[in-house]
Amino acid sequence: MDVDWQDTGFVFTRRDGSPIHPDHLPKRFATQVRKSQVPRIRLHDPPQAHATLMLQVGVHPRVVCERLGHSSIQTTLDTYTHMIPSM
């Protein structure tokens, strides 16, 4: 049975637009990682890896900050530069 979509303003929803429980996405992500047989990663690991790799190859921290949606470049630098020995 198809239900008409209703825009509720939520990012992650059921097919009808109603909100899902906050624990659903991390559990679903973990299930998909397990099924894909890739090394175990958490839901927050891909953005962290993305940020670290960008900084390592010389992408300006302001660009990394904007991509991650941080409120300040200092947040980005404080969070990620300790992972990069050359920084």
CB-count burial class (<10 Å; 0-12, 13-18, 19+) for 22: exposed
87 pLDDT higher than 80: no
Closest among 73, 68, 15 to 44, alpha carbons compared = 68
- 8, two tokens: 């509720």
57 pLDDT higher than 70: yes
Give me the mean pLDDT over the 42-56 stretch: 87
In angstroms, rounded to a whole number, what is the distance separating the alpha carbons of residues 37 and 1? 33
pLDDT recorded at residue 82? 72
* pTM for the whole structure: 0.57
